[in-house]
Chains A and B, each alone.
Chain A
Amino acid sequence: QAEVEETLKRIQTHKGVIGTIVVNAEGIPIRTTLDNSTTVQYAGLLHQLTMKARSTVRDIDPQNDLTFLRIRSKKHEIMVAPDKEYMLIVIQNPSE
């Protein structure tokens, strides 16, 4: 589990990264670098959005699946890497 820690730390130290959240399949955050209320909010909302995105992709083509989700907003970019059991969320500010 040291590798996990090390990998997550490596992501966090990239330029412009604001926060990293690891979420389980039900949307419950497991590990985060942000404060609790923000984490819970991000986890809940992004979990629903990822489910919706995945179902959209699979509706169009049942043999396809969602691999990555990037949401670009005015202030930052939210990147979601979904999986069967877990989900990794990274928030980055690209214009720094």
Chain B
Amino acid sequence: MSTKRAKTTASVGSKGKDPKESESSAGSVAVHGHPDDICPLTLTSATQELFGCRYDGDVTRDNPYKILRKEDILQDLRNRAAVSDFSPVKQLVLAYPEDELLLVYDRDFIYGSSFYLVLTVEGKDRHLMPIVAEVGEEALEREPSDVFAAQKTPEPRPWISLGSEQEIEEESVTDSRPRVKTPKCYEISRVRRAFGAPVFFSDRNAAETKDGFIECTPYQDKIFSLKQMERHCGVQAIPNCNSSSTQTPWTYPKNMCTQYEPREFSKEEKENCLQSEELKHFISLAVSRLEVAIQQNEIADVFFDDWKALSEDDGGYAGKADSHLKEYQSFTDLHFSQEKTISNISWHPTISGVIAVAMTERLSFEDRINASTKLLLNPSLILFWSFSDPINPQLLLECPDDVFSFEFCPSDPNIIVGSCMNGQVVLWDISAHVERLQGTRSSDTRDNETSVVRYCAVSSIEHGHKAPVTDIQWLPETFEVSRMGVPMENKSGMCVQIVTCAPDCCLMFWDIRAPRVAFQNMADQRKQKVEEKPLENPDGVPNTFKHLNLTWKPLFRVCPRLVNIPAIHSPNWGLNGSQTPNLFSDNLFFLPQDGELVYTDWKLEKDDSGRLFSVKPSHRFTIHDGLVNTVRRSPFFKDIVLTVGGWTFAIWKEGVMNGPIIHSSCSQRKCTVGYWSQSRPAVFYIGKEDGNLEVWDLLEKTHEPSQTQNITTAPITCIKPWIISSKQHLLAVSDHLGTLHILEIPWTLRSPCSNEKLSVNKYFEKEVDRLVYFDKRREMRTKEKKNMDAEELRKKMVRQRSQISKWILIIICLVGTYSVVKYIPGKLYFFLTYLD
């Protein structure tokens, strides 16, 4: 503020120099020599003291303005009336609108007096305003340069006072006079000549002259004892601010799991609940609703689609014409199947469309012996046919002798085991030729001629069968048999054991794994190691079964004890292959012989001396009047077996030892082979001597085949069905001439009717009941007959006795008459006793 005042004094000074400028704006110069709105005044020192505007005290050159209150002036006027200095301006003061008047100290006596009073508000403003105007002008002078330098700065505008600065000015503490600066400079001046002049000091009494001294008497300044009762303070309302903080602990992520178990009631709680009244009430209410619903369901199944179900049965009638077995393809090889017959067929388990047949010579035993030299030159073969090529077989397997039966290993289809006429068991490994069979070989015709695979292992001749091995089967992959004949669980999950049978009354179990060397001593082991050097591989035979070649011995053999020793000719037998090895306790199977069927347990038992022997067969049946050539289990029922032999076939149920549950009548021709259908539980196929294929449907007719179809002119040697896809079921039929026919099974024969299994089961049960009933009746009849016979005998005895007694009586009479005189009482007595 002091700086401002400095400026104002400068301005006032400049104004003083140019009074006419400012005053021309204010108004015209009045007659008096001063403007209208100011009135020069002369204030006495008393007045000055009273109003606080003494010369060079309160009001100085720097600070010429003094605001006087109107009331004070009026008060003064009232107090001192005419004496007051303000009397000339009394009217003007009274007319003054505001409360405060501006008194200006006119040091330079511009208007003729030491003071002048500004009488109008505008004047007052004008006196105070120029401060701002000057400031504004100066500011404006400064600004333009800045404006040109940075054009973004806004232009300053003059500040319009709205009266708010008054409060601030009132409250602000400002210096009323400039501070005394130390060191304080007082200028004392004297004439130059006076310096250095001799001075004569004398004394003077202070009390002598008036006003010789100024007395400063202490007085109590009321200011310091004043207590400030009120104080202005500023209050501002702001919204409520709240500051708070939290800290989340950072932990590393870790696995967490919850485990829960359901809530359950204890027994007592359950009892409590059950006995509560509410439960009774609830049950009585709920049960009524429930019974309605349950009954609805019992009456009819509302969601059962009758329309769909109808269509299944209808198809059978409409497609009656379609029940013919259509010929799909037929395979004959001109090179290899001349004068040969097919003894066995086997479908490849994994590659679809590949079938293997075993070719054997069509000669009787005598002819075989006679032509044995010629036979040695023609090796026996197993041919692999593929549907893609009906002329050339894909693969040929060489066998040491005619193969009667062969099987693919179920767990590894590249291993094939075959049984030969000379009693040997042969192994082949065709892993090298699998791509050829799959048909994925390259298109170049390098492999035009069919490759021949030699067998990789044969069993040893001394230890094998002594008769042609007629059938061979793999044991299921879940169990194996130990050396002692105890069935165990097979942990490897692969088929490793084979069972063979031959007419030398023997059943042999073979293992294709390398024999364990646990009990060999060091010498043998070393010898073996030396021998195990990789041998040369003639004929490119894979080394898979090198360990078995020519040294293969059966694991153990079962020779069922039979009273007489007929030939065991068993082309097939059914093993009770239970999937869970823990369940099988006794393995019973059928061992067909010449027309006789034997049912026995092959487990070996120990007798008194500790040797193992086979038990006696439990049952023998003579049903078929010819060689039994087929024993087959039904794929749908584990205990139903079909046997075919001679002129009849029979169906047996395990456990029913009275006889076959179904026995067909004798047919015109011999039945050569039989097989169950793989998709329909009631259907099976019988092959005949005249090349006919009979289709039997147990649900349709049981006294004759439901359909007969002629396939070839030669007897049928083997039947094997196979399911390629759900729409295509094929039947492979081979005949005595060496031709393989592939027939397609029509829809009627491959899709089962609704509940077919159930119906067939019921039929079998009925048959069993019939058998049982018949047996009972037979027993009854025999008993009756026995009774009747006994009765007859007794009657006869009685008659005879009576006749004898009659004769004795006559003799005695005769004797009596002659010896009455001869008194022989003893003899008479003897005779009489004899009669009794």
Contacts and interface: CB of A to CB of B under 8 A. Distances in A.
B643 to A, nearest CB: 36
B488 to A, nearest CB: 33
A74 B286 CA distance: 25
B216 interface: no
Interface in B494-509: none
| Residue picked from A27, A30, A31, A92, most chain B C-beta under 10 Å | A30
Contacts of B304: 95
Nearest to A73: B303
A14 B294 CA distance: 8
Contacts of B289: 67-68, 81
Given A90-B290, A90-B294, A4 B279 contact: yes
A28 B294 contact: no
A92 B302 CA distance: 13
Nearest to A72: B303
Interface residues on A, range: 35 or more
Contacts of A72: 303
A53 interface: no
B297 A24 contact: no
Given A22-B279, A28-B265, A7 B287 contact: yes
Nearest to B263: A28
B836 interface: no
B518 interface: no
Nearest to B303: A72
A31 B271 CA distance: 9
B283 A8 contact: yes
A1 interface: yes
Interface in B70-114: none
B544 to A, nearest CB: 48
Interface residues of B, number: 29
B203 interface: no
B142 to A, nearest CB: 77
B267 to A, nearest CB: 11
Given A4-B279, A70-B293, A85-B278, A26 B263 contact: yes
B262 interface: yes
Nearest to B293: A79
Given A1-B275, A16-B298, A30 B283 contact: no
B263 A7 contact: no
A43 to B, nearest CB: 8
A81 B274 contact: no
A72 B297 CA distance: 11
A40 B260 CA distance: 13
B282 A86 contact: yes
A1 B283 CA distance: 11
A44 B263 CA distance: 10
| Residue picked from A24, A26, A40, A81, most chain B C-beta under 10 Å | A81
B274 A31 contact: yes
Contacts of A95: 301, 304
Given A8-B283, A86-B278, A86-B279, A81 B263 contact: no
Contacts of B303: 72, 94
Contact of B274 (A1, A70, A85): A1
Nearest to A3: B280
A76 B100 CA distance: 107
B297 A30 contact: no
Contacts of B262: 28, 40, 43-44
Contact of A11 (B265, B280, B291): B291
B813 interface: no
Interface string B362-399: 00000000000000000000000000000000000000
B264 interface: yes
A93 to B, nearest CB: 8
A17 B282 contact: no
A45 to B, nearest CB: 11
Contact of A81 (B270, B273, B278, B290): B290
Given A4-B280, A72-B303, A95-B301, A17 B294 contact: yes
B298 A94 contact: yes
B199 to A, nearest CB: 120
B523 interface: no
Contact of B283 (A4, A24, A27, A28): A4
A17 B274 CA distance: 21
Contact of A94 (B265, B279, B297): B297
A59 interface: no
A88 interface: yes
A31 B270 contact: yes
11 contacts: A3-B283, A8-B283, A11-B294, A16-B298, A28-B263, A30-B270, A40-B262, A92-B297, A94-B297, A94-B302, A94-B303
Which 5 residue pairs spanning A and B have beta carbons closest together?
A: A81-B286, A94-B297, A40-B262, A94-B301, A1-B275
Given A28-B265, A95-B301, 14 more contacts: A7-B287, A11-B287, A11-B294, A14-B291, A14-B295, A14-B298, A16-B297, A17-B294, A28-B264, A83-B282, A83-B285, A83-B286, A94-B297, A94-B301
